[in-house]
Amino acid sequence: MQLTLGPVLYHWSPERWRDFYYRVADEAPVDTVVVGEAVCSKRTPFKQDHIPGVVERLEAAGKRVLHASLILVSLPRERRQTRELMQAEDAEVEINDLTSLASLAERPFAVGPFVNVYNEAAAGFLAERGAMRICLPPELPLPTVATIAAALPQLAIEVFAFGRLPLAISARCYHARAHKLTKDNCRFVCEQDPDGMPVRTLDGAGFLSVNGVQTLSHGCASLLGDIPALRDAGVASLRLSPQDCDMIAVARLYRDVLDGQVEPGEGERRLSEIYPDVPLANGFLHGAPGHVRMGAGGAGLGEMG
């Protein structure tokens, strides 16, 4: 199985963002790296200047690079950005919204986890139009993943295996709202929270995480214990979604568990050291609430607050 590093969903400073990818190029055992801004079009200009250098460095290191499109496209500038990305030469794209299909020239593409692929017929529809790989929505249970992978052996099927789960996208910016600002005058306050703004219940339980217009889970996906089942299901790749922790160590750990160098249980213990104070969750894959952590046999290991 391969490893894919998903796009940084948070608003990191341009220098930090660039240096992160330089380090990924030099040190992370991942096969594919998705770059670009998927969450908020207002953030795009900050990254634009660094993208060519980052791509060059990643490709020189032998990584396959995909360019992420925006998740929610409604403004004219967002349509323009999407169209330009779809028509850019030499750039392999990962579409996060079907808007992209309207302007995608006839060439192969990847599908990100924000496109609603819930069954083999939808996956087949996209494959007919040139989809080569699909990262399925995080919400899907294992039997669905297996059915889609079995029906479309020519597609590389990927699942969301590490990181806070992206749960919703909105026109409203909840970072701006929390700071009593509006989206148009947001002052990029989301940059203050490189791992998202924590949202707790009124009695203090960790619940969600706000990233501008996006809402993520408090819990962090960990499918380390599910790797044998995912392999049996025909999954070709695991997606690691960057968090504010040592992602090189995360990638190495996933590689080691995939290669049988580290037992899954030991892997999860180490993962909790690399990304401390965040509960691990794999409920979606087991058809349970997404925040739940289940053992490999399907037994609940207790709910994570």
Partner 1 sequence: MELICPAGTPASLEAAVEAGADAIYCGFRDETNARNFPGLNFSREELRKGIAFAHRHGVKVLVAINTFARAGSFGLWQSAVDDAAAAGADALILADLATLAYAARRHPAQRLHVSVQAGVANPDAIRFYAESFGARRVVLPRVLSVMEIASIVRESACETEVFVFGGLCVMEEGRCSLSSYATGQSPNMNGVCSPASHVAYSERDGRIQSTLGGFTINSFGKGEPAGYPTLCKGRFATPKGSGYIFEEPVSLDAAVMLPALRDAGVTALKIEGRQRGRAYIAGVVRSFRDILTGLEEGRSARTPSLAALAEGQASTVGAYRKGWR
Minimum Å gap between C-beta 223 and partner 1 is 16
The binder of partner 1 chosen from 16, 48, 53, 75 (CB under 8 A): 75
Helix-helix angle 264-274:247-258, to 10 degrees: 180
Q: Does 60 bind partner 1 (CB under 8 A)?
A: no
Q: Are 5 and 247 in contact (CB under 8 A)?
A: yes
Q: Does 248 bind partner 1 (CB under 8 A)?
A: no
Q: Does 101 bind partner 1 (CB under 8 A)?
A: yes
Instruction: State yes or no: 220 annotated in a binding site.
Output: no
Q: Does 121 bind partner 1 (CB under 8 A)?
A: yes
Minimum Å gap between C-beta 52 and partner 1 is 26
Q: Taking contact as CB under 8 A, which single stretch among the options 36-44, 59-67, 253-261, 279-287 is the one that binds partner 1?
A: 279-287
Minimum Å gap between C-beta 78 and partner 1 is 8
Listed in sequence order, the residues at least 6 apart from 231 whose beta carbon sits closer than 8 Å to its beta carbon are 1
What's the CA dihedral at 124, 89, 11, 206 to 10 degrees? 10
Token readout for 258 is 């995939």
Angle at 11 between CA 7 and CA 16, to 5 degrees: 85
User: Which residue is listed with tokens 């992209």?
Assistant: 100
The binder of partner 1 chosen from 88, 102, 105, 301 (CB under 8 A): 102
The CA distance from 198 to 3, in Å, is 28
Helices (H) and strands (E) in the chain, counts: 11, 14
The site string for partner 1 over 217-236 (x = CB under 8 A, - otherwise) reads: x-------------------
Q: What's the gap between Cα 100 and its chain centre?
A: 18
The binder of partner 1 chosen from 4, 41, 69, 144 (CB under 8 A): 144
Q: Which residues of 95-132 are buried (b: 16+ CB within 10 A; e: fewer)?
A: bbbebbbeebeeeebbbbbbbebeebeebbebbeeebe
Q: Which of residues 145-204 bind partner 1 (CB under 8 A)?
A: 147-148, 151, 165, 167-174, 176-179, 182-184, 197-204
Minimum Å gap between C-beta 20 and partner 1 is 24
Minimum Å gap between C-beta 286 and partner 1 is 9
Q: Taking contact as CB under 8 A, which single stretch among the options 41-49, 143-151, 230-238, 265-273 is the one that binds partner 1?
A: 143-151
Instruction: State yes or no: 245 annotated in a binding site.
Output: no
Q: Does 72 bind partner 1 (CB under 8 A)?
A: yes
Q: What is the DSSP letter of 267?
A: H
Residues constituting the chain: 305
Minimum Å gap between C-beta 105 and partner 1 is 14
Q: Does 298 bind partner 1 (CB under 8 A)?
A: no
